[in-house]
Amino acid sequence: MNSKLVILFIILSNLSLPVVSVVDDCGAQQYDACINKKKALPLKIIAIVSILLTSMIGVSFPLLTRSIPALSPDRNLFVIVKAFAAGIILATGFMHVLPDSFDMLSSSCLKDNPWHKFPFTGFVAMLSAIITLMIDSMATSLYSKKHKAALVLPESGGDQEMAVVEAAAHSHFHGHHHGSKLEVEGSQLLRYRVIAMVLELGIIVHSVVIGLSLGASNNTCSIKGLVAALCFHQMFEGMGLGGCILQAEYKFLKKAAMAFFFSVTTPFGIALGLALASSYKENSPRALITVGLLNASSAGLLIYMALVDLLAADFMGQKLQGSVKLQIKSYVAVLLGAGGMSLMAKWA
Ligand SMILES: [Zn+2]
């Protein structure tokens, strides 16, 4: 009788252990030897500077290669750099943003109802992918309708109209009729520019959030490793974004503005985390839900754009369809980009 009671007690105490640790987790403040606010501050300032520098290096790297003749838009290397960048963006969506959202929205700190009753992450990511497609297709058809009306056809024929519409509707169709060629390239360029800007918005949430959690943390034992990981993370992601800015062919000032904007996102997150350190709790339900839902919608957007606007557009386009050898090289680049970014998911 007595021994049974003891066993029951052991089982009960074991059952209650994880519950207790979960409650501690949601309370956020932990007390152990590593927590030291004063020692953490200089590390965070080092983090702000070094992440700013490495992001700038990463994002300008593909842009600087522009001065190399082998990287002019008509050359093969340009296509391969773009494939590498697309791989990075795809892995950012699948390997960083989507799993983060799953983690947050299935956190034990959230109420059982509704958060554990329905896969919100998948639902929101799916909706976001559909909405991105909707905006993509409608904006394209509105644009081509407007410009088709304005277009003066020198040698009129339905054929030529088709070329404009088709090229606007899908990338890399270069019209070979004299009148429409400029027009087609114009709409293609506009498309690239919109893609670059939307992508920048899509990766911002993740960049700010990883900075935020570094800024709010006072754990001196883990901060050093985290700073190094974030430097590589932002450098790699910068290369992905840089590749997309490259094809948008912006003027210098616009390029610099986009590169700068990307570079400050994580340092901004760290500063924000520092400022909010007393009130911001990573595991509070409000933070989990807001960031979790934002992550889910940017995951849908990033995955759609990487697959449809970057990868499918290039691989189904004229240039890559013309050469299997170039296709294989580009696939290697996609795998390298996606693989490298996936590796980063181990740390942040
Ligand atoms: Zn990440």
Each of the 348 residues of the chain gets a pLDDT tens digit; together they read: 455 555 555 554 444 444 333 344 675 555 677 888 888 899 999 999 999 999 999 999 888 877 777 666 667 888 898 999 999 999 999 999 999 999 999 999 999 889 999 999 999 999 999 999 999 888 888 877 877 766 544 444 444 444 444 444 444 444 444 445 566 677 788 888 889 999 999 999 999 999 998 998 888 888 888 999 999 999 999 999 999 998 888 898 999 999 999 999 999 999 999 998 878 787 889 989 999 999 999 999 999 999 999 999 999 998 899 999 999 999 999 999 999 999 999 988
Rounded to the nearest angstrom, the distance between the alpha carbon of 133 and the centre of ligand 1 is 24
Q: How far apart are alpha carbons 55 and 50 in whole angstroms?
A: 8
Rounded to the nearest angstrom, the distance between the alpha carbon of 206 and the centre of ligand 1 is 7
Rounded to the nearest angstrom, the distance between the alpha carbon of 201 and the centre of ligand 1 is 15
Rounded to the nearest angstrom, the distance between the alpha carbon of 97 and the centre of ligand 1 is 7
Q: Which residue has the tokens 């943390």?
A: 217
Rounded to the nearest angstrom, the distance between the alpha carbon of 310 and the centre of ligand 1 is 20
In 17-68, where do the E strands start and end?
none
Rounded to the nearest angstrom, the distance between the alpha carbon of 14 and the centre of ligand 1 is 35
Query: Would you tell me how many other CB atoms lie within 10 Å of the CB of residue 112?
Result: 8
Rounded to the nearest angstrom, the distance between the alpha carbon of 345 and the centre of ligand 1 is 5
Q: How far apart are alpha carbons 35 and 112 in whole angstroms?
A: 31
Contact 90, 338 (CB under 8 A): yes
DSSP bridge partners of 35: 219
pTM beyond cutoff 0.85: no
DSSP string covering 175-192? --STTHHHHHHHHHHHHH
What are the tokens at 103? Answer: 């983690």
Which whole-number Å values give the CA distances from 56 to 106, 214, 234, in the listed order? 34, 19, 9
